[in-house]
Amino acid sequence: MERRLAAILATDVAGYSRLIRADEEGTIAALKALRADLIDPKIAEHHGRIVKLMGDGMLAEFASVVDAVRAAVETQQAVAIHNSGLPKDKRIEFRVGINLGDVVIDGDDIHGDGVNVAARLESLSEPGGICVSGKVYEEVRDRTDLAFEDLGEQRFKNIDRRVRVLRWVADGPAVTVDAGKVSVPLSLPDKASIAVLPLDNMSDNRDYEYLADGMTEDIITLLARIPSFFVIARNSSFSYKGQRRDIRQVGRELGVRYVVEGSLRPIGNRVRVTIQLIEAESGNHIWAERFDRAAADLFDVQDEITNAIVARLEPELTRAEFELVRRRPPADMDAWDYYRQASGILSLKGWHERTFSEGAELYRKAIALDPEFAPARAALSLLLALGHMIGHVTEPDEALSEADQALALDSDSSEVLGFAGCALSDLGHTTRGIELLEKAIEQDPSNAQAWVALGAALLSNRQPELAIEKLEHGLRISPRDNRLAVWGGILALALGFVGRFDEAIEQARVACRRDDKLHNPRVVLAALLVTENRLEEAASALAEARRIRSQLSLREARGIVGGRYAKALQKIWEL
């Protein structure tokens, strides 16, 4: 059996299934053109050989690691330039993984662990990005001026050893990281990372409070649409609302390089908004500006100032066509009050029949006052779907009806798509739910709820590896979210499904520590411990769950952990 050492490059197209569903013939033609015009010539230029094409994927080998990395970087840069003139939904973006390893020769094909690791690295890469193994980095670090971020050692499926992974930092300074000290979830991303803190309302007028919050949300949404930005999700940013904050501490807690903060103040018949861009590590002010507008129509002011702020924060926006996402409160402010009260009820009061009933009633009051309030209908559908899944709501019809009505009212809002998609997935309409959740993320990449819901839907669709990827990203972009205890429990279940029980149990313990009044993560922890035959610890976790929720039933537990883990729980249910 012939072997040789080779640099292996693996690629695939990010979101290929979505592109094919939208335009099969156009996508295939565009992909062929990109390969013929950009990719194949770059590989040949750097003395590489295309081993095989696999649908949207490709495998190539190089005699030189430096050639492989240069070919990948130049290709990604060329594709990015090509995509800059295309609408976002028409762009073809590649993920790339590169490994150096021993390969087995089989005619024109190659096999072996070296190839498998390259494929795993490619799956870790972001669209337009490149991940390399530690072996590759050691070979190129002194031979190129390219920058890489160290992600530490990662465990890959069917690979016995851990693999050190580094991520190419496009147009960034070299990053030197002690791999032993890397905290992967909160490492600085390889793009400009930003948290937008809630604007301070310097008035007692409630309308200006809504204006400040809405403006903050619009800035977050618009910045998140820029591919070169990593933007922290709304819930984590709003956890600092009303607090005196040390910007350097905020930067450390959220894992961002920049923080945007500001204030809103009415002056006579005008509104003044002051915005500052701050470097989190040093606390230095990079840029500040004041925006004054007439206050005749507060929500027209919201759109106008938001547009101006984002254009100043990212000058490229002024040269690009973009659609301002309008996230206005409904016409009736009482409806908005009911909606806001309902939205935090599960986090504040726990998952009980009473809280599901109270939350549903508040959403219904909001809808009664404003029947076209799509977010309220979508949120009600999700609350009812969750209640049905764990046995607190007997009939799913209202949940399905509210999801459909919300989508009919607003099928472009990321918030509506995220809530309705999650509701449909929880009610068993997984394929449609996944499609809606993918669209929600497309509309607003900082929508952490949609990322987590997509991960949960993929887990129920028996795609645990992909589910873990989505779940981890959702938790990462909203590290102070009040739903982390629930979300962490879902991630723990996914880790357990792929046999990573030590990590799963630790994740479940972390979820328990995040909320001492929530029984869900304790049920998850008990199920995982039973599966590992740690029955005494499992019984203790289940007892704690029952202390919090005395009426806990096996049916409800099944709704939280799924049928496979519920069977395991039966071993200790009567202990």
Number of domain units in the chain: 4
Alpha-carbon distances, residue 289 vs 213, 214, 309, 392 (angstroms) = 19, 19, 9, 51
Confidence of residue 298 (pLDDT cuts 50, 70, 90): low
Q: Give a yes or no: residue 475 inside a domain.
A: no
Average pLDDT value over all residues in the chain = 82
Same domain, 200 and 287: yes
Neighbours of 282 (CB within 10 A): 11
Same domain, 512 and 454: no
**Last-in-domain residue among 132, 158, 182:** 182
Same domain, 405 and 282: no
Residue 203 sits in a domain of what CATH number?
Answer: 3.40.50.10610
Q: Are residues 231 and 256 in contact, defined by beta-carbon separation less than 8 angstroms? A: no
Give the tens place of pLDDT for each residue, 51-77: 999 888 999 999 999 999 999 999 998
- Supply the pLDDT for residue 51: 93
- Supply the pLDDT for residue 394: 66
Burial class (CB in 10 A: 0-12, 13-18, 19+), 539: middle
- Measure the CA dihedral 235/239/241/245, to 10°: -130
Rounded to whole angstroms, the Cα distance separating 243 from 503 reads 34
Rounded to whole angstroms, the Cα distance separating 445 from 450 reads 9
For residue 185, the SS3 value is helix
Average pLDDT over residues 508-528: 89
Same domain, 454 and 387: yes
Residue 335 vs residue 469, higher pLDDT:
469
Same domain, 358 and 503: no
Beta strands 162-169 and 130-133 are antiparallel
Alpha-carbon distances, residue 192 vs 169, 174, 391 (angstroms) = 11, 15, 44
Q: Are residues 117 and 156 in contact, defined by beta-carbon separation less than 8 angstroms? A: yes
Same domain, 11 and 157: yes
Confidence of residue 312 (pLDDT cuts 50, 70, 90): low
Residue 517 sits in a domain of what CATH number?
Answer: 1.25.40.10
Residues in the chain, total: 575
Same domain, 303 and 218: yes
Residue 55 sits in a domain of what CATH number?
Answer: 3.30.70.1230
Rounded to whole angstroms, the Cα distance separating 216 from 408 reads 26
260: containing domain: 192-319
Same domain, 496 and 567: yes
Q: Give a yes or no: residue 473 inside a domain.
A: no
Same domain, 236 and 218: yes
Same domain, 217 and 347: no
Same domain, 343 and 440: yes
Q: Give a yes or no: residue 471 inside a domain.
A: no
Q: Give a yes or no: residue 427 inside a domain.
A: yes
pLDDT at 535 over 50: yes
Q: Give a yes or no: residue 432 inside a domain.
A: yes
Task: Give the number of C-alpha atoms closer than 13 A to the C-alpha of residue 52, restricted to the C-beta side.
Answer: 9
pLDDT at 322 over 50: no
Q: Are residues 306 and 328 in contact, defined by beta-carbon separation less than 8 angstroms? A: no
Q: Give a yes or no: residue 257 inside a domain.
A: yes
Rounded to whole angstroms, the Cα distance separating 455 from 463 reads 9
Same domain, 62 and 155: yes
